[in-house]
Chains A and B, each alone.
Chain A
Amino acid sequence: MFRWRIGRDPFWHEFDRLQRGMDDLFGALTGRAGTAVATPFWSQARLFPLVNVKELPDSYLVTAEIPGMKKEDLEINIEGDTLTLKGERKPVDVGETASYHRRERATGLFQRSLTLPGKLDGENVKAIYKDGVLTVSLKKSAAALPKQIEITSD
């Protein structure tokens, strides 16, 4: 019997480490960003849309590539520390006499939820949709900001 515990089986840890090392090396040579997270092939997200999350000292920046959308077809919700993107990509009205030669752009409904690592300030969220890229800027709650602790000598 086979034990398909790839990723958890200690035998594969070394291969996984090698894979990550090679990815980093390759990424460094070709100047690719995002080598902070080099996921193994079998756990890459297949959800739409793909998102990038950056952490700034006082906020999180979530970007997603969703071209060809109208603002009224997009819905962004925040609940606690979870951000949900929802929407529908509608197909272009081509008219009745048209015929497709190629159809590569997908259309349909999508929904994606992300839980961010820190606590968010629900009142302070800004979303911009420009050139097909949605950028959501979420401020961290005051309690989650890093604080410097004074040392007193007694």
Chain B
Amino acid sequence: MADQELQVTPRKEAAPPEPEFTREGTHYSPAVDIYSNEKELVLLADMPGVSSDNVEIDLRENTLTIIGRISEESEKAQYVLAEYCPGNYYRSFRITEIVDQNKITASMSDGVLKLVLPKVEKAVPRKIPISTD
């Protein structure tokens, strides 16, 4: 994989579910990598142009939603070449009971959001003492 030339994958528009967003603007679906090891699931999302204070991560009822907002264009000037159009990012996932929802952590650097979702620790077998009355 490392020797091939990188190709552009065309950006897919996300279709936000009802209700719609109150602000105008295109929303793209960010490319994500999801991998897991024994203790956690890690999600990496490509959201270039989004700084860490413009990310919203919403978790409710087993649905994890990521929204990344870009700031307005600073230079209002004539485009000579426009191959991509900046837009906000939106993607939503359903997480199962394997994930311990209280311990999810997130970090953002260089336009990549990293979400760490630890798996629920398996119940440790233990003996239950009997009390005599």
Binding site for B on A (CB under 8 A): 30-34, 36-37, 44-56, 60-61, 65-70, 88-92, 94-95, 97-111, 114, 116-117, 129-133
Please tell me which stretch of B2-10, B14-22, B121-129 contacts chain A, meaning at least 4 of its Cβ atoms lie within 8 angstroms of it.
Answer: B2-10
Chain B, residue nearest A68 (CB): B112
CB-CB contacts below 8 Å: B34-93 with A = 34-38, 41-42, 44, 46-51, 73, 75, 77-86
What's the Cα separation between A33 and B36 when bound, in Å?
Answer: 39
What's the Cα separation between A58 and B78 when bound, in Å?
Answer: 13
Q: Counting chain B CB atoms within 10 Å of each CB, which of A30, A67, A91 scores highest?
A: A67
**B100: shortest Cβ distance to chain A, in Å?**
17
**A133: shortest Cβ distance to chain B, in Å?**
5
What secondary structure prevails in chain B residues at the interface with A?
loop
Q: A48-B8, A65-B84 are in contact. Are A109 and B32 (CB under 8 A)?
A: no
Once the chains bind, are B31 and A132 in contact (CB under 8 Å)?
no
Q: Which residues of B contact A31 (CB under 8 A)?
A: 24-25
Once the chains bind, are A131 and B80 in contact (CB under 8 Å)?
no
Q: Which residues of A contact B31 (CB under 8 A)?
A: 104-106
Q: Counting chain A CB atoms within 10 Å of each CB, which of B34, B47, B78, B82 scores highest?
A: B82
Once the chains bind, are A53 and B37 in contact (CB under 8 Å)?
no
Chain B, residue nearest A56 (CB): B77
What's the Cα separation between A89 and B81 when bound, in Å?
Answer: 24
**A64: shortest Cβ distance to chain B, in Å?**
9
Once the chains bind, are B81 and A61 in contact (CB under 8 Å)?
no
What's the Cα separation between A67 and B2 when bound, in Å?
Answer: 17
Q: A31-B25, A33-B73, A105-B44 are in contact. Are A48 and B111 (CB under 8 A)?
A: no
Q: Which residues of A contact B82 (CB under 8 A)?
A: 33-34, 36-37, 52-53
Q: Which residues of A contact B80 (CB under 8 A)?
A: 36, 53-55, 60, 116-117
Once the chains bind, are B8 and A99 in contact (CB under 8 Å)?
no
What's the Cα separation between A21 and B36 when bound, in Å?
Answer: 48
Once the chains bind, are B111 and A108 in contact (CB under 8 Å)?
no
Once the chains bind, are A61 and B75 in contact (CB under 8 Å)?
yes
Once the chains bind, are A104 and B33 in contact (CB under 8 Å)?
yes
Chain A, residue nearest B46 (CB): A67
Once the chains bind, are B83 and A36 in contact (CB under 8 Å)?
no
What's the Cα separation between A56 and B78 when bound, in Å?
Answer: 7
What's the Cα separation between A94 and B47 when bound, in Å?
Answer: 20
10 contacts between A and B (CB under 8 A): A32-B85, A34-B79, A45-B8, A48-B6, A52-B79, A91-B2, A94-B35, A101-B34, A105-B32, A132-B46
**A73: shortest Cβ distance to chain B, in Å?**
11
What's the Cα separation between A117 and B78 when bound, in Å?
Answer: 14
